[in-house]
Amino acid sequence: MTENNTFISAIILTRDNQDLIKDCLISLEDIADEIIIVDDGSEDKTLEIAKVFTAKIYEIDNKDFSFRRNYGAEKAKGDWLLYIDADERIDEKLKKEIKEVVSSNKFSAYAIPRRNILLGKELKHGGWWPDYVLRLMKKESLIKWEGELHEQPRVKGEVGKLVNPLIHISHRSISEMVEKTNKWSEIEAKLLFKSNHPKMVWWRFFSVAFREVWFRGIKKLGFLDGPIGIIEIIYQMYSRMITYAKLWEMQVIQEDKKTNI
């Protein structure tokens, strides 16, 4: 517990994170009074490793990120909730700052900057710094998390910003990047399809690619991160193109069904 006996619950969503979860859990020592794991069907050794650190493990068959984050909050006993992903780490400076702010009770929630490490290099441009994420909040101030994929919390009260960053070990290999895109682009495409996105025509693909290159590479100066910065710009463009290509495919299938009725 912190100096004023404030209880902090750390909540982690997991799925097949055996290569990452141990270091994440170790980084929570001296800051989390309880650790809650909400797992979505891990088939590797993720839960076996997690059991060494906590008994509060809940297996939930639900791909909705907001549902699982809200579920973790329901199970938490802490005054404060600290959300952290398996590929994130908390260093000593951030631990000290978190203890100070929860003791001061000045804000209802805090956004934390992230150091994004891609292929072993920290990205400082391309929109990757400071990359604030709202992850620390009073339990009583959390209304709920919303959004199936790019979920965000709604909170009551004022939100402050921390200075010390959360360390985010993002893509560790290009193969991992491609695999991740194939997985999450399917979900993003379905969300766009459900929202009745306008029909994908040829010029929309060019528009998607141009916007990504403009934002990451030019407006946010992503090229200043060197070869890895360039790779990330191309990857983000590729990821968006795959998402919209899958959306196009869904729209074509829908049209074919209407035609054959």
User: Does 143 lie in the same domain as 16?
Assistant: yes
Beta strand ranges found along 92-141 (DSSP E): 109-112, 114-118, 121-122, 133-138
* 161 Ramachandran zone, left/alpha/beta (phi>0; psi -120 to 50): beta
CATH number at residue 148: 3.90.550.10
User: Does 194 lie in the same domain as 89?
Assistant: no
Is 90 contained in some domain? Answer: yes
Over residues 157-179, the pLDDT tens digits come to 999 999 999 999 998 999 999 99
User: Does 226 lie in the same domain as 117?
Assistant: no
User: Does 100 lie in the same domain as 54?
Assistant: yes
Is 72 contained in some domain? Answer: yes
pLDDT number for residue 89: 98
Is 3 contained in some domain? Answer: no
Is 1 contained in some domain? Answer: no
User: Does 252 lie in the same domain as 134?
Assistant: no
Is 111 contained in some domain? Answer: yes
Is 53 contained in some domain? Answer: yes
User: Does 58 lie in the same domain as 77?
Assistant: yes
pLDDT number for residue 11: 98
pLDDT number for residue 1: 61
User: Does 244 lie in the same domain as 138?
Assistant: no
pLDDT tops 90 at residue 109: yes
- Which secondary-structure segment (H or E) carries 176? helix 174-194
User: Does 141 lie in the same domain as 15?
Assistant: yes
pLDDT band at 15, cuts 50/70/90? Answer: very high
Region of poorest pLDDT, from 37-46, 85-94, 105-114, 144-153: 144-153
pLDDT band at 37, cuts 50/70/90? Answer: very high
User: Does 211 lie in the same domain as 156?
Assistant: no
Mark which of 138, 169, 200 sits at the end of a domain. 169
Q: How many separate domains does the chain show?
A: 2
Region 233-239 average pLDDT: 95
Contacts of 8 (CB under 8 A, 6+ apart): 1, 2, 31, 32, 33, 34, 78, 79, 80, 81, 82, 98, 102
Question: For residue 126, what are the domain limits?
Answer: 8-169
* 30 Ramachandran zone, left/alpha/beta (phi>0; psi -120 to 50): left
User: Does 18 lie in the same domain as 136?
Assistant: yes
Is 116 contained in some domain? Answer: yes
pLDDT band at 155, cuts 50/70/90? Answer: very high
User: Does 192 lie in the same domain as 128?
Assistant: no
pLDDT tops 70 at residue 261: no
Percent of the chain with pLDDT over 70: 98
Is 44 contained in some domain? Answer: yes
pLDDT tops 80 at residue 62: no
- Average pLDDT of the chain to the nearest whole number: 94
How buried is residue 236: exposed, middle or buried, by Cβ count under 10 Å (0-12/13-18/19+)? buried
Mark which of 137, 169, 201 sits at the end of a domain. 169
User: Does 182 lie in the same domain as 150?
Assistant: no
pLDDT number for residue 260: 77
Region 20-43 average pLDDT: 96
State the Cα–Cα distance between residues 37 and 76, nearest whole angstrom.
10
pLDDT tops 90 at residue 216: yes
Mark which of 134, 169, 204 sits at the end of a domain. 169
Region 79-85 average pLDDT: 98
